Amino acid sequence: MDSISNMIIMLKNASLAGKESVFLPYSKMRNAIAECLKKEGYVSNISKKVSTRGGSVSNTKNKQSILEVGLMYIDKKPKIVEVERISKQSRRVYFRIKDIHTVKNGSGLLVLSTPKGILSGREARKEQVGGEALFKIW
């Protein structure tokens, strides 16, 4: 399955269920997406942790990095209500600068993979770069 789709669905489901945080397998891409969401106020905190599988602390082969993402709520209502994956493995979608518009009249966020890293739609317009549209979140 697509790891980005899996990540955003886990964030949505956990926030709708009222969870404080979500644990995801660590990757640089997931970390960059989480940092972008933190910058835009959709998640509260991000931390990388190392867990051991099998309970043996001395065995270094079974260590796996985990990304803990804290979720945001406003008056006990989740900040993340819906997500929509744009670019998929079967169909890549690229936006030029002029194609980047607001999501839900400014209440949502477009996340892009650009040559300058993972950026929100607002940051991409400011940096004057386009890129692959990953997903919308609101």
Query: pTM score > 0.85 for this model?
Result: yes
Q: Check residues 128 and 60 and name the one with the higher pLDDT.
A: 128
- Can you give the residue range of the structural domain that contains 123? 3-137
- Taking only the tens place, the pLDDT of each residue in 9-21 is 999 999 999 999 9
Give how many domains the chain has, as a whole number.
1
pLDDT above 80 for 53: no
Q: What is the pLDDT of residue 62?
A: 72
Q: Give the CATH number of the domain where residue 96 resides.
A: 3.30.1490.10
Mean pLDDT (the chain) is 93
**Cα gap 86→110, rounded to integer Å:** 9
Q: What local confidence, expressed as pLDDT, does residue 19 receive?
A: 97
Per-residue pLDDT at 93 exceeds 60: yes
Mutual angle of helices 28-39 and 3-16, in 10-degree steps: 40
Tell me, what's the pLDDT at 59?
56
pLDDT in tens, 42-51: 999 999 999 8
Q: What span, in angstroms and rounded, lies between the C-alpha atoms of 86 and 67?
A: 23
Give the confidence band of 52 by pLDDT, cuts at 50, 70, 90: confident
In angstroms and rounded to an integer, the radius of gyration of the C-alpha atoms of the chain is: 16
Q: In the chain, pLDDT over 90 holds for what percent of residues? A: 87
Question: Is the CA virtual torsion 48, 52, 57, 61 positive or negative?
Answer: negative
- What pLDDT is stored for residue 92 in this prediction? 97
